[in-house]
């Protein structure tokens, strides 16, 4: 037991040095190319341990089931065994789904070949009725002549091979999985006397089509985005990576909602340690419900208290594919039209998918614009406050007098003006999202114009400030990552506060603090500022985007199994002679 500290001791503890408690942190081990090719399943020791420990955990048994008597395993339907009695199995499913109170679960009884009692079970609305009617029910009830052997034993094997006309069907002998399949929109078939079910793929719930990206729009580049269906999303990624090594592993998260979560990586390229770490973190989550990737992110991120995101969120399949090919891991969650990519560094938040599609000078220019935008939107209001309050000598005289003239009738100090304006700008933005449809779009522009103009005329704020706030807002919109933009919005208020309090000195302190905290965080074992700090090998895709054929290596920090992306000379044609060639001579230019 620790003694209760006095206030003084408490304060003292903040400014004295203490030995750091050793924390075991994840890192990405470097794996030799040859080793990995010999034994790809070779998982480094420390992660392996975590893995095994996980496996050892016994899943808790719900109280309701603990009471249940475990009698005569063969006949009694339970979570682990399928009864051979049709009635017991129907009761089991009914009980699990709270029927008859729950009207969603449909159990349809019928007889096959007038002999075998059977039922199918599915959730209403989640299934495709046409498939059930034409290819399950019709197939089973109209093909009496196929059942010729008159055998009384289990007919499911025969049905699977000969009768059913569904594209996907498999046997399942654990009732818990059967329940899950029903929940996923599949149809289970049971025939009396069997000790397993047949699961037919009949998913047919309503879903949104593949639409254009809402958040990550680009000019040049593909215009399709993820939707809420996991299957579709994975397919969209597969469209870009036609590689048999692209592996999708499914993990169910959330104890109550059992959401399906997919971990994508490229086998033999992605460092297996990352995949294992991602899976370890996701599997270890013990929580009621995880509804989307945003919630999942908060459960598995390294630094929950950091200002900036440590996972890249994207709604673009092409961007996901490019990151997968760099040796990173993508996490998709059913029902969320976004994908999380780990591990990342700060620069990948500044990149836009467009950069790679454009010729390199344009891409580089846009990157510098974005860095400038981040600087502006973080610091400009803070600098303005600091300038006008502490450092008047730095403003050109004429501008100073103009500002003073404009401010003459404004009754508030500059800080109040800035905060007032920033807050109303935030209001416009937030309202712009909520207000429906066409009004929402126009409100942004009109709101900002009218509000700004009116505020100036009413002598509430000075006109120079409107420019400052407007430029800040523009800068913020230029940041390609929404989460990063939000963190910049937060930091802005921090800097306004510091600028008002301590001037440039305060802003310097604030920059140092934020800088230190940023250098401290990691994203799945990758320092946030790599490859700048810690310095690793030079990247051809950092701020200056080199030509695509010049980017020979994958990012160093992911320790990919294959570090090289392409050969030293990737444009082989430059070394070959064209088929139709001629030696250029001086006389060629004559007559032109």
Shortest Å, Cβ 239 to another protein = 43
Shortest Å, Cβ 4 to another protein = 17
The number of residues that bind another protein (CB under 8 A) is: 30
Query: DSSP for 327-363?
Result: T-EEEEETT-S-EEEES--HHHHH--HHHHHS-HHHH
How many Å apart are CA 73 and CA 86, to the nearest integer?
15
Shortest Å, Cβ 381 to another protein = 15
Shortest Å, Cβ 517 to another protein = 8
- In the bound state with another protein, the residue whose beta carbon lies nearer, of 389 and 562, is 389
Shortest Å, Cβ 500 to another protein = 7
Closest listed residue to residue 514, CA positions, set 345, 312, 379 = 379
Q: What is the DSSP letter of 102?
A: -
CA 382, distance to chain mean position in Å, is: 32
Instruction: Candidates 11, 375, 423, 445: give the one binding another protein (CB under 8 A).
Output: 11
Instruction: Candidates 6, 8, 14, 575: give the one binding another protein (CB under 8 A).
Output: 14
- In the bound state with another protein, the residue whose beta carbon lies nearer, of 243 and 517, is 517
Shortest Å, Cβ 297 to another protein = 20
Tell me how far CA of residue 567 lies from CA of 86, 548, 577, in angstroms. Answer: 63, 12, 19
- In the bound state with another protein, the residue whose beta carbon lies nearer, of 192 and 301, is 301
Per-residue binding letters, 20-49, with another protein (x by CB under 8 A): ------------------------------
| Run of H or E including 66 | helix 63-67
Collapse the DSSP code of 299 into the 3-class scheme (helix H, G, I; strand E, B; otherwise coil) and give the result. Answer: helix
The backbone torsions φ and ψ at residue 253, rounded to the nearest 5 degrees and listed phi first, read -120, 160
Instruction: Candidates 251, 471, 502, 548: give the one binding another protein (CB under 8 A).
Output: 502
- The answer to whether the bond into 591 is cis (omega within 30° of 0) is no
Instruction: Candidates 471, 501, 542, 548: give the one binding another protein (CB under 8 A).
Output: 501
Strand partners, 172: 197
Q: What is the DSSP letter of 163?
A: I
Site for another protein in 292-331 (CB under 8 A): 305
- In the bound state with another protein, the residue whose beta carbon lies nearer, of 401 and 458, is 401
Shortest Å, Cβ 388 to another protein = 5
Q: Six-digit token pair at 306? A: 């950091």
- In the bound state with another protein, the residue whose beta carbon lies nearer, of 251 and 395, is 395
How many Å apart are CA 193 and CA 154, to the nearest integer?
5
- In the bound state with another protein, the residue whose beta carbon lies nearer, of 267 and 306, is 306
Per-residue binding letters, 163-192, with another protein (x by CB under 8 A): ------------------------------
Per-residue binding letters, 385-424, with another protein (x by CB under 8 A): ---xxx-xx---xx-xxxxxx-xx----xx----------
**220 contact partners, CB below 8 Å, separation of at least 6:** 354, 357, 358
Shortest Å, Cβ 383 to another protein = 14
- In the bound state with another protein, the residue whose beta carbon lies nearer, of 139 and 402, is 402
**404 contact partners, CB below 8 Å, separation of at least 6:** none
Spell out the long-range contacts of 224-227 with Cβ–Cβ below 8 A and sequence spacing 24 or more: 224/316, 224/317, 225/315, 225/316, 225/317, 225/337, 226/315, 226/316, 226/317, 226/332, 226/337, 226/338, 226/339, 227/337
- In the bound state with another protein, the residue whose beta carbon lies nearer, of 39 and 408, is 408
- % helix, strand, coil for the chain, step of 5: 45, 10, 40
Collapse the DSSP code of 190 into the 3-class scheme (helix H, G, I; strand E, B; otherwise coil) and give the result. Answer: strand
Shortest Å, Cβ 503 to another protein = 6
Instruction: Candidates 175, 452, 503, 527: give the one binding another protein (CB under 8 A).
Output: 503
Q: Is 518 one of the binding residues for another protein (CB under 8 A)?
A: no
327 sits in the region (left: phi over 0; alpha: psi -120 to 50; else beta) called left
The backbone torsions φ and ψ at residue 369, rounded to the nearest 5 degrees and listed phi first, read -60, -40
Which of these ranges, 98-106, 236-244, 504-512, 583-591, lies near another protein under the rule CB under 8 A?
A: 504-512
Contact footprint for another protein (CB under 8 A)? 11, 14, 305, 388-390, 392-393, 397-398, 400-405, 407-408, 413-414, 498, 500-503, 505-506, 509, 513, 517
């Amino acid at each position: 037991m620790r003694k209760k500290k006095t206030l003084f001791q408490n304060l003292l503890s903040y400014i004295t040095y203490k030995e750091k408690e050793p924390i075991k942190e994840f890192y990405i081990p470097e794996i030799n190319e040859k080793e990995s090719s010999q034994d790809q399943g070779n998982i480094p020791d420390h992660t392996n341990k975590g893995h095994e420990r996980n496996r050892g955990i016994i899943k808790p048994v719900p109280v309701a089931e603990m009471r249940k008597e475990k009698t005569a395993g063969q006949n009694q339907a339970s979570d682990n065994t399928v009864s051979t009695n049709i009635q017991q199995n129907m009761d089991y499913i009914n009980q699990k789904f709270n029927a008859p109170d729950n009207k969603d679960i449909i159990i349809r009884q019928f007889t096959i070949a007038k002999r075998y009692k059977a039922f199918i079970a599915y959730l209403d609305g989640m299934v495709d009725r046409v498939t059930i009617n034409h290819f399950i029910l019709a197939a089973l009830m109209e093909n009496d002549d196929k059942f010729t052997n008159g055998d009384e034993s289990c007919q499911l094997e025969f049905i699977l091979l000969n009768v059913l006309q569904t594209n996907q069907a498999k046997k399942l002998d654990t009732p818990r999985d059967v329940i899950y399949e029903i929940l996923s929109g599949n149809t289970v078939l049971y025939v009396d006397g069997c000790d397993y079910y047949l699961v037919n793929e009949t998913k047919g719930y309503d879903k949104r089509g593949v639409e254009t990206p809402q958040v990550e729009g680009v000019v040049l580049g593909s215009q399709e985005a993820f939707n809420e269906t996991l299957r579709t999303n994975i397919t969209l990624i597969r469209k870009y990576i036609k590689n048999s090594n692209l592996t999708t592993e499914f993990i169910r998260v959330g104890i109550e909602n059992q959401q399906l979560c997919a971990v994508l990586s490229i086998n033999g390229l992605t460092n297996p340690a990352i995949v294992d770490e991602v899976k370890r973190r996701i599997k270890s989550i013990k929580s009621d419900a995880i509804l989307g990737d945003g919630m999942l992110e908060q459960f598995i991120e390294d630094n929950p208290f950091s200002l900036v995101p440590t996972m890249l969120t994207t709604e673009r399949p092409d961007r996901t594919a490019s990151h997968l090919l760099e040796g990173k891991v993508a996490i998709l969650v059913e029902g969320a039209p976004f994908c999380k990519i780990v591990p990342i560094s700060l620069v990948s938040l500044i990149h836009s998918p467009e950069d790679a599609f454009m010729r390199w000078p344009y891409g580089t220019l846009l990157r510098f614009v974005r860095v400038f935008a981040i600087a502006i939107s973080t610091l400009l209001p803070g600098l303005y406050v600091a300038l006008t309050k502490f450092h008047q000598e730095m403003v050109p005289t004429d501008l100073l007098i103009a500002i003073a003239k404009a401010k003459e009738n404004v009754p508030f100090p500059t800080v109040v003006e800035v905060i007032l304006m920033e807050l109303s700008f935030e209001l416009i933005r937030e309202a712009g999202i909520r207000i429906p449809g066409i009004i929402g779009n126009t409100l942004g522009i009109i709101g900002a114009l009218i509000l700004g103009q009116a505020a100036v005329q009413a002598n509430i704020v000075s006109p120079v400030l409107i420019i400052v706030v407007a430029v800040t807002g523009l800068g913020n919109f230029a940041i390609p990552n929404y989460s990063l933009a939000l963190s910049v919005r937060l930091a802005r208020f921090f800097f306004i506060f510091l600028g008002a309090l301590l001037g440039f000195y305060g802003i310097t302190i604030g920059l140092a603090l934020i800088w230190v905290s940023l250098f401290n965080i990691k994203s799945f074992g990758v320092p946030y500022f790599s490859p700048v700090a810690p310095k690793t090998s030079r990247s051809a895709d950092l701020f200056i985007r080199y030509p695509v054929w010049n980017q020979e290596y994958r990012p160093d920090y992911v320790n990919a199994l294959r570090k090289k992306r392409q050969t030293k000379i990737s444009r082989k044609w430059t070394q070959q002679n064209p088929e139709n060639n001629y030696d250029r001579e001086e006389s060629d230019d004559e007559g032109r």
